[in-house]
Amino acid sequence: MQKTLERRVLDVFEMCEKCEYDKGFQVALLRRRADAGTTVSKERLRLILICPQCGQRYDIGWAVEVE
């Protein structure tokens, strides 16, 4: 598995930096670990973008909460 690169989206992020594929990303949801000593009532998932051409993964800082 390739290393997940951390990126922040300032304006537009629509092209893979590794292979230059520019037709969109696939999405994966990963469980986020709760901080030690805290009670979390809702589950938080990290949203990871994956290039469908080369498989490069990007963590752009998005997360979702689910019940």
Residue 1 binned pLDDT confidence (cut-offs 50, 70, 90): low
Phi-psi region of 19 (alpha: psi -120 to 50; beta: other; left: phi over 0): alpha
Distances (CA, A) of 10 to 6, 53, 55, 60: 13, 24, 22, 10
Task: Report residue 43 as tokens.
Answer: 């589950």
Residue 56: its pLDDT value, please?
97
The single-letter code of the amino acid at 28 is A
Residue 6 has pLDDT above 80, yes or no: yes
pTM above 0.85, yes or no: no
Supply angle C-alpha 43, 48, 52, rounded to 5: 140
Domain ranges of the chain: 4-66
Which tens digits make up the pLDDT trace of 12-60?
899 999 999 999 999 999 987 655 555 656 788 999 999 999 999 999 9
Assign 50 to helix, strand or coil.
strand
